[in-house]
Amino acid sequence: MVGTMASIMSSTVINVAIPDMSQHFSLGQGRAQWVASGFMVAMTVSMLTTPWLLGRFGYRMTYVASMLLLLAGGIAGGTAGNFSLVLVGRVAQGLAAGIVQPIPAVIILYGFQPHEQGRASGLFGMGVVLAPAVGPTIGGLLVDWFGWRSIFFMVVPFCLASLWLAFKYVPSTAPGGVAADRGGKTIDWRGLLLGSVGTLCLLNGLVELHHGPASRALALLGGAATCTALFVWWQARLGRTGRQPLMDLRLFDYRQFTMGSIVAFIYGTALFGSTYLLPVFMQLGLHLSASLAGTILLPAGIVLAITIPIVGRLADRQPTHVLVSIGLFLLALSFALMLLVHLKSGLWILVALSVLGRIGLGFILPSLNLGAMRPLDKTLISQGSSAIGFLRMLGGAAGVSLCGIVLEWRIAAHGASLSSKGSDAARIAAFGETFVMLALLCTIAMIAAWRLRATVPKS
């Protein structure tokens, strides 16, 4: 839990520093958002490697190496003298976070009985959400007091604590209690390359849709589609020949897992897109300070920490599709109501809408992974956790880019600009329309969520 808190904090807290960092390095909105989306790309791709790493090196070695990489990335980003080194630090942190984050779901499904997994997931989630709950508030204060560099050093104490705990508590075995196979099969480098190139083509293609010529955008998006098709073909071929694929396609023989993956992708797009968009809206749209923007998000984080364990207990007794659908509805409603926010709105409205959205997240977080992965055969649990995490983060990486694209499009349509000082109604209207786009995505995800109803899995 401590290691996951460190990885999540490094993911979310950077958003309050983006405006100051952009000013320091004289960045445009397109380059600045790569601080967030570069992290997401690295985390997305590295998630696919977790099952192989756990089987090859075991829990402890995989975990310790990831924490050391996360620590090194934070120090590199905090001491960087140019924007390129900042990106290198962020990519290193993303790689580490991607390896770590699928591990808790594997532990919960191996270590707890089905009637205990909801409570375990809820308790774990309550601890983990403290990072994004407290992180933006502390991060905003640090930015105001010490500048944007201090943000990168926030993960240092968490990494040091997690390293000490790892050597004390984390076993050296692989999932299932078997010994790590150091001489086992090599990782699927071709699949990893196809996944990496496809993700980069997708994100750059989305950016080029707005900034570049249409031919370049279509070429990049076509490259992403080609890489996706080749990735699926290659994974199927490895499965047929008895070799270890990066993503085992047998997972999608389970309807609940397939529907859960669709929900995870769309949910990731909305969640990470809004995590990027909301602090930027409060600072550049409403002209609030970084510390005030972080403070506004604090009550929502506390409510989320309270909601998750309650819903975790419900997940042991109530249908998953109902809980996930309720959460998506509340999340969509919170986005849609952002249209009501204007220059003269009280800060309590922002607090209330943030709380509403986090209650929705509280319904989704403990339920989605359990509902999608419970039907899986034990041998597919590590693969399932990695695959659903990959799809969620792929949606998240696309969501950050998509929000940036739609925001600039709508700002230009209203004749406003992010670079001008102060705030105006046209700019706020553009932000509101971008939030409505996120609300529509959550509504689409509700259709797939309703298909999470329990069914007899295929043999």
pLDDT at position 413 is 81
Q: Considering the chain, what is the average pLDDT of its residues?
A: 82
- 50: nearest Cα among 116, 110, 95: 95
- 102: nearest Cα among 384, 316, 367: 384
* DSSP three-state, residue 141: helix
Sequence-separated (6 or more) residues with CB below 8 Å from residue 135: 8, 9, 12, 13, 154
pLDDT at position 280 is 81
The token pair at 122 is 């809820």
User: What percentage of the chain exceeds 70 in pLDDT?
Assistant: 90
pLDDT at position 420 is 60
pLDDT at position 96 is 93
Predicted confidence (pLDDT) per residue in 74-125, tens digit? 898 888 888 888 888 888 998 999 899 888 888 888 878 878 888 888 888 7
Cβ distance 297 to 136 under 8 Å?
yes
pLDDT at position 72 is 92
The token pair at 28 is 């445009």
pLDDT tier for residue 246 given thresholds of 50, 70 and 90: confident
pLDDT at position 122 is 80
CA distance 76 to 94: 13
Segment 138-166 shows an average pLDDT of 85
Query: String of b and e for 388-422 (b: at least 16 CB within 10 Å)?
Result: bbbbbbbbbbbbbbbbbbbbbebbeebebebeeee
Segment 59-69 shows an average pLDDT of 91
pLDDT at position 33 is 66
CA distance 170 to 247: 25
Q: Say if residue 231's pLDDT is above 90.
A: yes
- Domain locations in the chain as residue ranges: 2-172+246-452, 188-245
pLDDT at position 272 is 76
Q: Say if residue 229's pLDDT is above 90.
A: yes
CA distance 162 to 165: 5
Query: String of b and e for 339-351 (b: at least 16 CB within 10 Å)?
Result: eebeeeeeeeebb
CA distance 60 to 442: 37
pLDDT tier for residue 455 given thresholds of 50, 70 and 90: low
Superfamily of domain 2-172+246-452: MFS general substrate transporter like domains (1.20.1250.20)
CA distance 143 to 141: 5
Phi and psi dihedrals of 174, rounded to 5? -90, 170
Residue whose pair of structure tokens reads 């550049």 in the numeric block: 284
**Residues constituting the chain:** 459
The token pair at 94 is 């993303």
Query: String of b and e for 213-239 (b: at least 16 CB within 10 Å)?
Result: eeeebeebbebbeebbebbeebbeebe
CA distance 266 to 282: 24
pLDDT at position 183 is 63
Q: What's the helix, strand, coil split of the chain in %, to 5?
A: 80, 0, 20
Query: String of b and e for 13-41 (b: at least 16 CB within 10 Å)?
Result: bbbbbbbbbbeebebebeebbbbbbbbbb
Predicted confidence (pLDDT) per residue in 255-295, tens digit? 888 898 998 898 888 877 887 788 888 877 787 777 777 77
The more confidently predicted of residues 121 and 28 is: 121
pLDDT at position 228 is 92
pLDDT tier for residue 136 given thresholds of 50, 70 and 90: low
Residue whose pair of structure tokens reads 């969520």 in the numeric block: 449
pLDDT at position 415 is 73
- 261: nearest Cα among 365, 385, 357: 385
The more confidently predicted of residues 362 and 233 is: 233
CA distance 342 to 340: 6
pLDDT tier for residue 459 given thresholds of 50, 70 and 90: very low
Q: Say if residue 14's pLDDT is above 80.
A: no
pLDDT at position 196 is 87
Segment 191-207 shows an average pLDDT of 85
Q: Say if residue 167's pLDDT is above 60.
A: yes
Q: Say if residue 149's pLDDT is above 90.
A: no
How far from each other are the two terminal CA atoms of the chain, in whole angstroms? 33
Question: pTM of the full predicted structure?
Answer: 0.79
pLDDT at position 457 is 44
CA distance 429 to 431: 5
Query: String of b and e for 149-180 (b: at least 16 CB within 10 Å)?
Result: bbbbebbeebbeebbeebeeebeeebbeeeeb
Predicted confidence (pLDDT) per residue in 365-377, tens digit? 778 888 888 888 8
Q: Say if residue 133's pLDDT is above 70.
A: no
The token pair at 346 is 């009280």
